[in-house]
Chains A and B, each alone.
Chain A
Amino acid sequence: MARDLVRRLWSWEGLLLILLLVTLAYNVTRVTNFLTVSNQINLFQLGIEKAIVILAMAFVIISGEIDLSVASMMGLSAGVAAALFESGAPMPVAILVALGVGAGFGLLNGYFVAVVGLSSLAVTLAGYVGFRGLARLLVQDRSVGGFPDWFTNLGQRGMVGPLTLSIFIFAILAIVATVTLHFSGFGRLTYVIGNSAAVARFSGVSVARTKMVIFTISGLVSALAGVLMAARLGAVRASTAEGFELDIITVVLLGGVSIFGGVGSMIGVLLSTYLVLNLRNGLVIAGITGNTQTGIIGLLLILSVLLPNLAGRVRERLRRRQSDPSMRAPPADLSETARSQTAPG
């Protein structure tokens, strides 16, 4: 019983839970009323757009790819909506076009990755530069605002009590993402492809189609997050959401998703989302500014891949020593394959 508990806590999610409790404890002792409902909602509200994109990014990384273009896509969709509104289009139309642009470019990313067979790193790096470039072209160095009241209210006022539309959307998407990833055929396909695209192809799985769907969703969800951000801030600049990809990818990897694909759970990702929101809040309390926070997130990003790697290597070495004491130095190739297969948690 006790041993079982210990083992459970040793899993990656358990580690996250401990980290979360420590951070929460710190925040609670430093700030009165930290755990009140309104404060917790406020906490979510400040990072809600990132949290939404994180859900889609989990699918991308579990399928063995990466999407560096999400933050630029958020900026582009916000820019498209703002520019259209500015030139006289009704706001609902502007929003729909922005979402369409997101889905379209997401599909394009997916096409180049899945059909043409380019590395997603290169394709989405092009998107990272290119989408931001298009946003600059649309918004230039202005700040576009003056949106209709109903639109900014969506982002800023609570719909039910203090809960804003963004929080509702996040909650619904989180449930949909969890169910899809863990209880649907599509989710299983995502894991299979992430473990080995070749195996998936030989098993008759349409790898290309699945990847294209994932990238399209990633683009669409990023565009949605961009529009929501425009509503919350009430103004759009070309630099909207710049640098968000760092946070988004960090949270997903910290949540126990393997950067090599095929491993991870939505529970872990949600836990790490909440952890990072709390961490940022705690850093603010401790008087650490935005820039330094970014550095800490960067460090967290590296550690969230480095630590499982090192832990896996140590575990492998211990196990080999136990099973075969004559074998002193493990051959390099074995530890290497073990590393790429070791899953955090």
Chain B
Amino acid sequence: MTDTILRRVRPEQFREVILLIVTVGLLGFFASQIPNYFDPRSVNRLTTGLAIPLVVAVGQVLVVITRNIDLSVSSIVGLSAYMVGTLLTRTDGLSPLAALAVAMSIGLVLGAINGLIVAYGGVPAVIATLGTLALYRVVLVEFSGARTVTTADLPDWLNDVPSATVVAAGGYDLRLMVGIALVVVILGQLTLRYLPFGRRLYAIGSNPEAARIAGLPAKRDVFTAFVICGTLSGLAGFMFLVRFGNITVTAAQGLELQVVAAVVVGGVNIFGGSGSMIGALLGVLLIETLQQSLLRWAGVSEFVKDAILGLLILIAVTADTIILSRLREMWVRVRRRDKAQAQERAQVVATGEGEMVHGA
């Protein structure tokens, strides 16, 4: 029985299934606790909240798969949101696409700095991005002079974007921002799955030494992963500006932890080499659901949020190491046995002895 399952499902997919079950169970639980949990307004609010962490998470997955981490994403989001916001208040008639391009370029440059330090400077990613997390935030503080971008100063088109809807059915909307985020997730998944670049990221993350000896452009690929992560954070910064309008110097602070937690909970191995965008999507969904629902659940203080986030990271990482490594062993064993049997069978056929060898 377990063998049949193991033949069909990879260990990593188990994890996604478990995560899905947990998330659905959680939704069911909160639905029984909170009145009107599934009414269109709250569902729309939940899905809208997903958009920004989702976009950042896609970039983070690319980086984490290569056995690195980018802690500076929240500062990139804040900085690009603030700079584009200021730009829009100062220049009239800047088109939405141009503003978006500026935001993403800012992200690209900041991501490239991270990539240079990590891939070519040989500085461990935690140290490098812990440094740039502080550094980029300070650039924002200096640049802003402690002023705030306010909704009133921003062009009108910006205020229409958050409620812009792609598809609507019975009050449930698929907002434009959520749509964009989903497109980013799909593109990310396709990249990981089908592009040589995506496949190389896995190779680099599971064994950097072997990847380099095999002649993979490891440094360039890690650099590119950081650049993409920065660019997507720039996109998220634009979405942040659009969604909130008021941008202070502390914008998006703490987002990096939520995203790293989501990515780790979503089954992307912190040691690199495994993980998928679908997992990250589930991770973001789980954490966002938990955070928003706890706020609405009477009897729970909002202060419990961070404690739960920490616990989730620990559970996810522990489960990954203990349960998944065991599953992986079982999976490999079944595969090996099947292969051995197939070989034996082939030999039997080849030597012309008619008797089949029975499978265990």
Neighbouring B residues of A137 by C-beta, 8 Å = 301, 303-304, 307
Cross-chain contact A309 with B310 (CB below 8 angstroms): no
- Tell me the count of chain B residues lying within 8 A, CB to CB, of chain A: 44
Neighbouring A residues of B76 by C-beta, 8 Å = none
Neighbouring A residues of B128 by C-beta, 8 Å = 302, 305
Q: Mark B257-274, 1 if CB is under 8 A from A, else 0.
A: 100110010000011000
Neighbouring A residues of B321 by C-beta, 8 Å = 116-118
Is B322 positioned at the interface, with any CB of A under 8 Å from its CB?
A: yes
Cross-chain contact A112 with B318 (CB below 8 angstroms): yes
Cross-chain contact B131 with A130 (CB below 8 angstroms): no
Q: How far is the CA of A298 from the CA of B264 in the complex (A)?
A: 25
Q: Mark B273-317, 1 if CB is under 8 A from A, else 0.
A: 000000000000000000000000000010111111111011001
Which of A112, A121, A259, A292 contacts B142 (CB under 8 A)? Answer: A292
Contacts A249-B130, A299-B131; A129 near B306 (Cβ below 8 A): yes
Q: Mark B115-153, 1 if CB is under 8 A from A, else 0.
A: 001000111101110111111011101100000000000
How close is A291's CB to chain B, nearest CB, in angstroms? 5
Q: How far is the CA of A141 from the CA of B303 in the complex (A)?
A: 9
Which of B131, B138, B305, B318 contacts A133 (CB under 8 A)? Answer: B305
Is B69 positioned at the interface, with any CB of A under 8 Å from its CB?
A: yes
Cross-chain contact B309 with A130 (CB below 8 angstroms): yes
Q: Mark A282-306, 1 if CB is under 8 A from B, else 0.
A: 0000000001101111110110011
Cross-chain contact A259 with B124 (CB below 8 angstroms): yes
Q: How far is the CA of A245 from the CA of B261 in the complex (A)?
A: 19
Neighbouring B residues of A122 by C-beta, 8 Å = 264, 270, 313, 317
Q: How far is the CA of A130 from the CA of B313 in the complex (A)?
A: 9
Which of A123, A298, A333 contacts B130 (CB under 8 A)? Answer: A298
Neighbouring B residues of A39 by C-beta, 8 Å = none
Cross-chain contact A333 with B212 (CB below 8 angstroms): yes
Cross-chain contact B270 with A333 (CB below 8 angstroms): no
Is B213 positioned at the interface, with any CB of A under 8 Å from its CB?
A: yes
| Interface majority SS (helix, strand, loop, mixed), chain B | helix
Closest Cβ neighbor of B325 among chain A residues: A117
Cross-chain contact B132 with A298 (CB below 8 angstroms): yes
Neighbouring B residues of A134 by C-beta, 8 Å = 307
Neighbouring A residues of B310 by C-beta, 8 Å = 126-133
How close is B279's CB to chain A, nearest CB, in angstroms? 16
Neighbouring A residues of B305 by C-beta, 8 Å = 133, 136
Q: How far is the CA of A128 from the CA of B256 in the complex (A)?
A: 12
- Tell me the count of chain A residues lying within 8 A, CB to CB, of chain B: 50
Cross-chain contact B301 with A126 (CB below 8 angstroms): no
Q: Mark A217-258, 1 if CB is under 8 A from B, else 0.
A: 000000000000000000000100000011001000100000
Q: How far is the CA of A136 from the CA of B303 in the complex (A)?
A: 6
Cross-chain contact B306 with A133 (CB below 8 angstroms): yes
| Interface majority SS (helix, strand, loop, mixed), chain A | helix
Closest Cβ neighbor of B260 among chain A residues: A125
Cross-chain contact B124 with A133 (CB below 8 angstroms): no
Neighbouring A residues of B121 by C-beta, 8 Å = 306, 309-310
Neighbouring B residues of A123 by C-beta, 8 Å = 314, 317
Neighbouring A residues of B131 by C-beta, 8 Å = 246, 298-299, 301-302
Cross-chain contact A253 with B138 (CB below 8 angstroms): no
Neighbouring B residues of A298 by C-beta, 8 Å = 130-135, 138
Neighbouring A residues of B123 by C-beta, 8 Å = 259, 302, 305-306, 309
Neighbouring A residues of B213 by C-beta, 8 Å = 333
Neighbouring A residues of B301 by C-beta, 8 Å = 137, 140
How close is B263's CB to chain A, nearest CB, in angstroms? 11
How close is A252's CB to chain B, nearest CB, in angstroms? 11
Neighbouring A residues of B304 by C-beta, 8 Å = 133, 137
Max chain B Cβ within 10 angstroms of own Cβ: one of A122, A127, A137, A253: A122
How close is A25's CB to chain B, nearest CB, in angstroms? 26
Cross-chain contact B313 with A126 (CB below 8 angstroms): yes
Cross-chain contact B141 with A291 (CB below 8 angstroms): yes
Cross-chain contact B317 with A126 (CB below 8 angstroms): yes
Q: How far is the CA of A131 from the CA of B322 in the complex (A)?
A: 23
How close is B12's CB to chain A, nearest CB, in angstroms? 18
Contacts A66-B126, A302-B117; A295 near B306 (Cβ below 8 A): no
Neighbouring A residues of B314 by C-beta, 8 Å = 112, 123, 126, 130
Which of A130, A259, A301, A313 contacts B307 (CB under 8 A)? Answer: A130
26 A–B contacts from the bound complex (CB under 8 Å): A112-B318, A118-B321, A119-B271, A123-B314, A125-B313, A126-B317, A127-B310, A129-B257, A129-B310, A133-B303, A133-B309, A136-B306, A246-B130, A246-B131, A253-B127, A291-B138, A292-B142, A294-B137, A299-B131, A301-B134, A302-B123, A302-B128, A305-B127, A309-B122, A309-B123, A310-B121
Extra pairs beyond A129-B257, A133-B307, A291-B137 (5, CB < 8 Å): A118-B317, A118-B321, A121-B270, A249-B127, A302-B123
Closest 10 CB pairs of A and B: A130-B310, A295-B138, A133-B306, A133-B307, A298-B134, A129-B310, A126-B313, A302-B131, A126-B314, A298-B131
